[in-house]
A and B are shown apart, each in its own frame.
Chain A
Amino acid sequence: MNHWRDALRDKRVAISGSILLIFIIAAFGAPPLAALFGIDPDTVDLYHRLAAPSLLHPLGTDEIGRDLLFRLLEGGRVSLLVGIVAALVAAVFGTAMGLIAGYCGGRLDAALMRFTDGVIALPLLPLLVVLAALDLKKLGIPSVIIDSPAISIERIIVLVAIVGWTTVARIVRGATLSLKSRDFVRAAVALGASSPRVMLVHILPNLASPIIVATTLAVGETILLESVLSFLGLGVAPPIPSWGNMLTTAQETIALAPQLALYPGLLIFITVIACNFLGDGLQDALDPRAQHRTLPVSNAAVEKAP
């Protein structure tokens, strides 16, 4: 556990970790706070559209007179939620892939890693645009689920998780390979432990730090992807706000109110860069001997998005 204390001493970890923590607390604390002040972030006030910052509206109002600060916090709640949940889904799938590939080795390893490399090399964004445009009815998903208001959120979580798992799989496979030859694993095998038992009981707990690093990096990646798809109108759908789709409407009023376009993008930028610095710092602190450093790939995956 000393590693964790080291990690906190790392400036990158401390600063980016605090920023993320503040964002999460602010975003998830916004609804009760709004209720406390008697502000309804969804109230439309056409007489005060695009108002300048005031005491009542610290950042002013948006194109239909809603309080911008609360809209940003609401949007942040959705963006952070989608990013974190998608990264966790990706982490579970990626860990399974990496663990099986690394432990079993041989042909299975080659096949799984070829598949992973193949996914990484594809032009993912164009394919994601297709996946986002699919007609869920044709997939045979019951209309009760399709017509629910949260479907755009559930859908985007699945979509970005499809991209996020590759980072985790590669990191976990690398760590599994080096653990496999350690004495305690060989002892377990010699004592007759079954492969699933060795993987789950002996190797998996020791993968905690690489998985945490990979998941942190994946959060940055998923938030960036969510914002791109939502911006293009293929992700989180209005009226649910997210930082990405707030920029879509801001684009239309950009000549009148550039601040509407500035804030959401700046928040995405800060969040993603904080996730990447946090992941990078944690990697240095938790796994100082890591030979193959994994680089954050957010834009590399979107552009790398992007």
Chain B
Amino acid sequence: MTRFVSTRLLQMIVVIAIMSFIIYALIGLMPGDPIDLMISSNPRLSPADALRLKALYGLDKPLIERYFAWAHAALTGDFGYSRLYLQPVLNVLVPRLGNTAVLMGASLFCAYMLALPLGIIAARRPGSAVDGAVNLVCFAGISVPSFWLALMLILVFAATLGWLPAGGVETIGDGSLPDRLRHLVLPVTTLTLVSMGSHLRYIRAAMIETLRQDYIRTARAKGAGEFRVLAGHALRNALIPVVTVLALSFGNLFSGALITETMFAYPGMGKLIYDSILGNDFNLALAGLLVATVMVLVGNLAADIAYSAIDPRIAYR
């Protein structure tokens, strides 16, 4: 187990190194460059000054050399300065991480609270009308464009009915918990509805498979109640494949958060990355993308470890 985790950790570090180089190279290919931006804000700079600035910031060096200089600084916790927020990148990034964690955690919780009972009810009688209805819910969740769903929710609940705020995290001047929770309702609903579908399908499929097993029949024959059979015997085993999906959904959830956060002006990581890319804030975009990638990879690893913890049949070498 220790060996498995350490091998995986090592692999992860290699993947992060490769991804950071790819992201670094991609950011360099975006329109404009930092010196042009400086020149545009100060018309008195001459071309000679521009060249000197380029040399000063090391922008005349080859890509690989610049990458190593950046990586060296990044390893010491120095991700540079954000052009948009006029603060060190980490100071901007860290509070946003917390906001995204709240949004993603709440959505994941709601998605499972809905998907578990629905998946179990559908799996009890595959092919029945209930199963068909649940299937429709699945497909609707998988297929709905999230930005449009967000737009419609804002239109109905914020613009027309006026029940809930259309965006942000809190009303200015009011930072109380109920106020913050009210701001979370629509973003969490959006993210829950779009992410629920795939979880629901996997739970249903895994439950159908498990309910066919002999030990379920044994449990029934011994007179166990329906709830005990479903929750105690079947669900525990059905959850094993579901954990894998949970891991894979981490990246997806993050992408979903980008749209949801942008639509609801929710200051999380996704919106930060989007804003920094459109706003030519290279340092911030770079760090944001890297943090997102690392989060996803760590999520995957955590799920792999959880997988073996739940299922004793799986031994990692």
Main secondary structure on chain A at its contact with chain B?
A: helix
B148, A265: Cβ atoms under 8 Å? yes
Hey, what's the 0/1 contact readout for A279-306 against B, CB within 8 Å counting as 1? 0100000000000010111111111111
Residue B300 is within 8 A (CB to CB) of chain A in the complex: yes
- A123-B293, A135-B31, A232-B274 known; A130 vs B139 contact (CB < 8 Å): no
B198, A297: Cβ atoms under 8 Å? yes
B143, A305: Cβ atoms under 8 Å? no
Shortest Cβ distance from A202 into chain B, in angstroms?
A: 32
> In the bound complex, what is the Cα–Cα distance between A241 and B120 (angstroms)?
43
Which residues of chain B in 234-271 are interfacial with respect to chain A, using CB atoms and an 8 Å cutoff?
A: 247-256, 258-259, 262, 270
Shortest Cβ distance from B282 into chain A, in angstroms?
A: 11
Residue A204 is within 8 A (CB to CB) of chain B in the complex: no
Shortest Cβ distance from A233 into chain B, in angstroms?
A: 8
Candidates B28, B255, B293; contact of A302 at CB < 8 Å:
B255
> In the bound complex, what is the Cα–Cα distance between A299 and B252 (angstroms)?
8
- A121-B248, A123-B296, A258-B155 known; A268 vs B191 contact (CB < 8 Å): no
A306, B143: Cβ atoms under 8 Å? no
B145, A306: Cβ atoms under 8 Å? yes
Residue A177 is within 8 A (CB to CB) of chain B in the complex: no
Shortest Cβ distance from B31 into chain A, in angstroms?
A: 4
A299, B151: Cβ atoms under 8 Å? no
Could you say which of A59-67, A101-109, A270-278 contacts chain B? A270-278
Hey, what's the 0/1 contact readout for A45-71 against B, CB within 8 Å counting as 1? 000000000000000000000000000
Residue B205 is within 8 A (CB to CB) of chain A in the complex: yes
Residue B197 is within 8 A (CB to CB) of chain A in the complex: yes
Known A-B contacts: A121-B247, A135-B31. Give 20 more (CB < 8 A): A120-B251, A122-B293, A123-B255, A126-B254, A126-B258, A126-B273, A127-B26, A133-B31, A227-B148, A228-B145, A231-B145, A232-B274, A276-B139, A296-B139, A297-B142, A299-B252, A300-B197, A302-B252, A302-B259, A306-B194
